[in-house]
Amino acid sequence: MGEKMTTILNTRWQAWLATRAPRERLALQSAAWLLLAALLWSLAIAPAWRTLQAAPARQAALLPQLHQMRAMATEAKALQQSDSARPPAWSERLRTLEATTQRLLKDKAQLSPAGEQVTVILRDAAPGALAQWLQETRVNARLRPIQVQLERSGSAGAWRWQGQLVLGDPSGAGT
């Protein structure tokens, strides 16, 4: 039915066009082709063109995430393949945490072990030192934050963190 309708419309268009003057016919055909080209551009070509032009910027924006994910995958593989696949004993983990805290946060943090968890109270810790301390705590002592209550203070460029973290082994290993 659709093909029959198209044929009828085409026949009517041709008959109507034949009644027009040659100049008018040329103008109408040109307008029809121009309308078809504009429709083709706006529905098919322009969206693809915009996507193609935006791709490098989107790729550049996603590249840091890709690098971070690859680094985390490498770290996970290294931890899985390490000689000590089994986490160290709690006392050894606690000694590692204390050494890392003393080296990176100095007097900005106070540790309070309680059972298989450690409460860390921070006072004016620098963001860079805190980030490095969290990373080393996760990798070397194999402890992760279970509860976090931190507040940022200071001004832009001189931020400091204070609050409390509870560290532990979410998997319960090494106990």
- What pLDDT score does 148 carry? 94
- What pLDDT score does 4 carry? 87
pLDDT in tens, 95-144: 999 999 999 999 999 999 998 899 999 999 999 999 999 999 988 888 99
Q: Please say whether the beta carbons of 85 and 171 come within 8 A.
A: no
155: DSSP letter: -
For the full predicted model, state whether its pTM sits above 0.85.
Answer: no
Cα–Cα nearest to 118, from 100, 132, 161: 100
- Mean pLDDT in residue range 59-74: 92
- Mean pLDDT in residue range 3-14: 88
Domain 90-168: which topology?
Gyrase A; domain 2 (3.30.1360)
- Domain range annotation of the chain: 1-57, 90-168
Q: What is the DSSP string of 63-85?
A: HHHHHHHHHHHHHHHHHHHSS--
- Mean pLDDT in residue range 157-174: 82
